[in-house]
Amino acid sequence: MTIYSETVMEHFKNPQNAYSMPDANAQGIYGDPSCGDALIIFLKVQNNIIQEVSYLVFGCCAAIATSSMTSVLAKGKSLDEALSITEEDIIKALDGLPETKAHCSNLGVSALRNAITNYNEKTRTDIMEKPQ
């Protein structure tokens, strides 16, 4: 009996964009204390478009796969488009998750939204600090 789709297993075995990004201009962190999963997402944003996205994740097969898929879905999107990515979008892109692992999709969505918030806060601060 297989509990994970082929797509989930592919992203678990060969996660995409899994690396630290020291020159990121934004990062977002999210963890799920109930299961111990944790994710940090790094973004490079230019002209309001996510040019590059990477992450470091600690967790189960589903946490790794959902983090990988989140990075794939977000890359190349505008910040507004990335903010509209939902847990259901991630689950659908992975061809489903077992009900007991569906909460893992929240890891990617929450960390991505936190990274975008971080970028927006930095951008606002940079604008406010520039001399007129």
Give the residue numbers marked as catalytic.
35, 104
d(CA 45, CA 52): 7
Buried b (16+ CB within 10 A) or exposed e, 41-76: bbbbbeeeebebbbbbbebebbbbbbbbbbbbbbbe
d(CA 131, CA 2): 60
Residue listed under structure tokens 């799920």: 32
